[in-house]
Structure 1
């Protein structure tokens, strides 16, 4: 069987599986046993609120997915991608890097404008309908424009660098790109709070007082030195809550959403931070970076192999590996690989998140606040309390709310 035909079969399976997974996600887990467990901590209204929010826009999401697949199929299995590259070659006289730039801009714009109505519907209309968003339409346009500009800027740089490596280092690119990917990831983690966050949010240092003292004490207990604690004004955009750490080495920065501080007690905020500290205590960030680098190495070798095999068949309109028109084909292969490894990636992530939850319980020794936090977070965010098992396996990077609560309930305290 030709590899091209295998790819078409896999692509078709991916489409069907995506739609099937959406259906199961819509249905959720309707077992009476799970329902009774949930009712120990939530009301029927809480359960229904999560169902309504998760189901809203179901058919629109199907249309969005089908359009994405149609665009991908058109660029990979028809001459569209090659002809677009040839068009730019004629316009600019064969300047390779200018062709790469123009091709990427075109591809980026096509994808952006196709997804824009769906982004507006899910990110503005539905968020207002469920009273999450505080944005005006102008706020949303500005926010989206910033995201567009940043994505275009970094995407262009990445594409030009990748094109240079592929064209000029045909034997070494499989080793160089993973290293560059690692370096870019590390650089991004450092620059994100310094450059990216201020573009979107207003934030400032946390006020002196009891909460700050408790955060510092918790960090010291975990042997983590906190350089600064910032409060992000998320309330200007939405009612969603979050908290995260940034930094490398011994010095860390903490970012708290003002909505988290407003909607939770100090003990509950500390419980959330205990979870984030748990990731640092167990070196999850380092582990994920190492694993991601190894994964990138494997992906590069696999992409090179599949490309050579498919190109040799001459049944898919492919130019050189470094040609910009090859980009959609490579994205398709990565997407197919992602579908296969998705349950393993999600499962590993849930293991790490559970470990961080356990560390939070150890550090705070306060399972009551942990449970109250999970209940509040689920209610405030209208979380789906009864997700389908397949959705959990393939898509959930975190344990379900009930699983996290039951973990805390079973915790016996420090030995």
Structure 2
């Protein structure tokens, strides 16, 4: 031991620092910081109303005022529950107790303890989630019955519990096999998992929540396929998701790679947007494909996972921290609640950085949509319709947007389209 640290902890910290520096460099290089040249007369100041009617603005603000406190409370409760379980002996005792009837072997503790911990964390926040669902239903945004809502919660918890248990099982197996270098092997495995997950998500996770049907042959389908070809990113199919079972919100996305790449439209989009608006929103999503944004995100995620795992190797090398959690070593199953708490804290710290990068990437996709469709009026109308349907605050508080905003605000996106139109008019 050295200063309360287990052997290999310093190497883990050094590796975390190096990978963190590499991640910062990748973010700096791969993030599109400067996108649109300044038009004559300067950039357009975003209109806080985004051109929406006063009644719509009042409704969006009322919705946000009802939902934002719930979001903060849910985050605080989840983190507090994770801290109580991870920084005291309670979590370790729970992991041990649920496995005791089956003999209590270490892998049984992991396979049963992780789902128990995930379930406890979800139950703590469940009342707040139910309140948030009530708000969405009251504002007409959610169309789910309570039975479907509970089914979605159960499926989400089950998927999270199973995947987390498998990952933690591999980590503890590595810890027990290679006590000094487990974090290096686990970091590589975590990075690989991020990559594999990016490919499997559209074919494994998405169907657990929605059904998909091909968009019938017609002018819209032909135009969307042609748009993908013009973008240099042909797709295999155009699908319609039965999103209206759950929401009135509008959305579309492109998922998959190669033979699994497809355009997916919410059925609400088909019902609410004109064809030119649908083409504009799909062009935005195709913009992500053209610039390999998913691959960039996967690379950043893999580096982040590697750095985080190395940092965990350093933190779990602290005998004091292990004693606080009631664990004898990093390979003791009673360390699992502490590990999950560290993951939760890391995710919280990373959120504003992830969203900063995301906002820049989304702005580049907006620009790509304008270049593909050459129709700023349709883009602006589409953004306004999205804001109306999704009850988006077009100009949220700066601090909230800095931390939680993964996209530019509606006001910013419309201002950018107006600047693009001015620049095109001068060429």
Alignment TM class, shorter chain as reference: 0.7 to 0.9
Does the 8 Å contact 2:184/2:310 carry over to 1? no
Cα distance in structure 2, aligned partners of 1:108 and 1:341 = 21
Cα distance in structure 2, aligned partners of 1:99 and 1:36 = 54
Cα distance in structure 1, aligned partners of 2:72 and 2:50 = 34
Q: Which has the higher contact order (CA 8 A, sep 6+)?
A: 2
1:179-328 counterparts in 2 under 5 A?
179-249=188-258, 252-309=261-318, 311=320, 314=323, 317-328=326-337
Cα distance in structure 2, aligned partners of 1:383 and 1:221 = 31
Does the 8 Å contact 1:78/1:317 carry over to 2? yes
Tell me the secondary structure at the aligned position of residue 140 of structure 2: coil
Give the corresponding residue for 1:8.
none
Question: 1:7-42 CA deviation, whole Å, 9 max, x = no partner?
Answer: xxxxxxxxxxxxxxxxxxxxxxxxxxx999234611
2:107 to 80, 97, 115: 97
Answering whether residue 361 of structure 2 is matched by residue 352 of structure 1, we say yes
User: Residues 361 and 223 from structure 1, CA distance in 2 versus in 1: closer, same or farther, beyond 3 angstroms?
Assistant: same
Question: 1:301-337 CA deviation, whole Å, 9 max, x = no partner?
Answer: 2111122235379555443213332233233333444
Q: Which segment is superposed worse, 242-251 or 347-356?
A: 242-251
Answering whether residue 368 of structure 2 is matched by residue 372 of structure 1, we say no
Does the 8 Å contact 1:224/1:251 carry over to 2? no
Cα distance in structure 1, aligned partners of 2:355 and 2:100 = 45
Tell me the secondary structure at the aligned position of residue 123 of structure 2: helix
Tell me the secondary structure at the aligned position of residue 308 of structure 1: coil
1:56-71 counterparts in 2 under 5 A?
56-57=66-67, 60-61=70-71, 63-71=73-81
1:372 deviates by 0.5
List gaps (5 residues or longer) in structure 2. Answer: 5-43
Cα distance in structure 2, aligned partners of 1:340 and 1:185 = 19
Aligned pairs, number: 383
TM-score normalised to the size of structure 1?
A: 0.84
Cα distance in structure 2, aligned partners of 1:251 and 1:87 = 43
1:400 to 409, 412, 423: 409
User: Residues 164 and 231 from structure 1, CA distance in 2 versus in 1: closer, same or farther, beyond 3 angstroms?
Assistant: same
User: Residues 90 and 157 from structure 1, CA distance in 2 versus in 1: closer, same or farther, beyond 3 angstroms?
Assistant: closer
Give the corresponding residue for 1:53.
63
Question: 1:247-266 CA deviation, whole Å, 9 max, x = no partner?
Answer: 22476211111111111111
User: Residues 314 and 79 from structure 1, CA distance in 2 versus in 1: closer, same or farther, beyond 3 angstroms?
Assistant: closer
User: Residues 265 and 48 from structure 1, CA distance in 2 versus in 1: closer, same or farther, beyond 3 angstroms?
Assistant: same
1:77 deviates by 3.0
Give the corresponding residue for 1:17.
none
Answering whether residue 427 of structure 2 is matched by residue 413 of structure 1, we say no
Answering whether residue 95 of structure 2 is matched by residue 78 of structure 1, we say no
Answering whether residue 318 of structure 2 is matched by residue 331 of structure 1, we say no
Give the corresponding residue for 1:149.
158
RMSD: 2.7
User: Residues 388 and 347 from structure 1, CA distance in 2 versus in 1: closer, same or farther, beyond 3 angstroms?
Assistant: same
Tell me the secondary structure at the aligned position of residue 237 of structure 2: strand
1:44 deviates by 1.6
Question: 1:356-408 CA deviation, whole Å, 9 max, x = no partner?
Answer: 11111111111111111110000111111221111122221111111100000
Question: 1:61-83 CA deviation, whole Å, 9 max, x = no partner?
Answer: 55544433432232233221233
Cα distance in structure 2, aligned partners of 1:62 and 1:348 = 22
Does the 8 Å contact 2:227/2:283 carry over to 1? yes
